[in-house]
Structure 1
């Protein structure tokens, strides 16, 4: 962890109004030791609009969801100095359900229809290989995404997929030990799928409503 130390020294000298001088004085020292801070930006902060999806373009067969075209959204993490960090994700719409119900912790909810059936799922990733541009660690210019279930044992993340149970970090290409960088940037590739038509209530228009939060942890 990169630390910045701030030290404030205050001297208080008490002078008596009488002829007798003070024989004691207090020296007060305060301060904080804080980690290097990081700012995170995903896209413009506005929702990514998938546009209008025609029901006629969706699969009707059971167990055959419709894969929509991939979308891309940029992200950046900018720190005040080189920091080793990990990222984790929370699905804020998990209670709305996910199609299919497989227990796959890499899938995020797209919301639900008026009958409480899940609209589909969203899978997204940093990208495989040296997909993350980084600065602040020697000659390194790109990093691999690595993943861990416990924050101790790390493995190559292959696609750099977001997960609700694993954490991701970043390492030099070919390595699996988290490394410190000052900036991280890349593009999330989003892969939404819509549930089969015969599992959805289409008596009214359906609103896709995905909402996930990325959290940073300093290692």
Structure 2
């Protein structure tokens, strides 16, 4: 009779006396099935081109700021949905002053070129401009007022989220379509900290995320 390895192992276990108590561990499987999907988008295809920046226009001992033109950010859902916003830094580790709301623009050799912020303003929810900006520092468990009329979309290095409520609510509302003005605030490192003998490409990239609540 030919024994398969599995059968032989089973026979061995069956014939071995039980000498030890069972050791166990628990596991859980969790998640959420959302009734609707939301799609974020940016006008202009999400591309922000600052063109050629002269090295002479950079401050020697401080960061130099540049602003992009205004674009429109929109989040369209299949049905009214509670969600928040954050973004993933595609150039993680290149930010000259890492924090919860800035993103890197790449490296010049080993030199960090700068950083940028995702600034949003003038939110409208389903045609209602009476909106309140909220923030959560624990991944959405608790919410508080953002504290300004504009918001920076946070990065995923921190459990920080930005949400929008309608008519003064203290938790993000269920929204079918959210729109806002969107602008890049880019900061280039002090010129003294960069090697500027050759052209230095600015190479920032990030991904806007909808977080379902």
TM-score calculated relative to the size of structure 2:
0.75
Question: What is aligned with 1:98?
Answer: 95
Pick the aligned partner of 1:110 from 105, 112, 116.
Answer: 105
Aligned counterpart, 1:152: 141
Deviation at 1:183, TM superposition (A): 0.4
In the TM superposition, residue 46 of structure 1 has moved relative to its aligned partner by 4.8
In the alignment, the residues of structure 2 paired with residue 206 and residue 49 of structure 1 have an alpha-carbon distance, to the nearest angstrom, of: 14
Give ranges in structure 2 of 5+ residues lacking alignment: 1-32
**8 Å contact 2:67–2:183 — kept in the other structure?**
no
TM-score by length of 1: 0.74
Alignment of 1:73-152 (within 5 A): 73-95=71-93, 97-99=94-96, 101=97, 103-114=98-109, 116-127=110-121, 131-135=122-126, 140-150=128-138, 151-152=140-141
Secondary structure of 2:70's partner?
Answer: strand
Q: 1:68 to 1:117 in 2, by over 3 A?
A: same
- 1:175 is aligned, of 156, 166, 169, to 169
Offset of residue 70 of structure 1: 4.6
- What's the secondary structure of 2:179's corresponding residue? strand
Question: Runs of 4+ in structure 1 displaced over 6 angstroms?
Answer: none
Query: Pairwise CA RMSD of aligned residues?
Result: 1.8
User: 1:48 aligns to what SS in structure 2?
Assistant: coil
Which has a greater percent of helix?
Answer: 2
Residue 208 (str. 1) matches residue 197 (str. 2): no
Uncovered stretches (5+) of structure 1, i.e. residues with no partner:
1-32
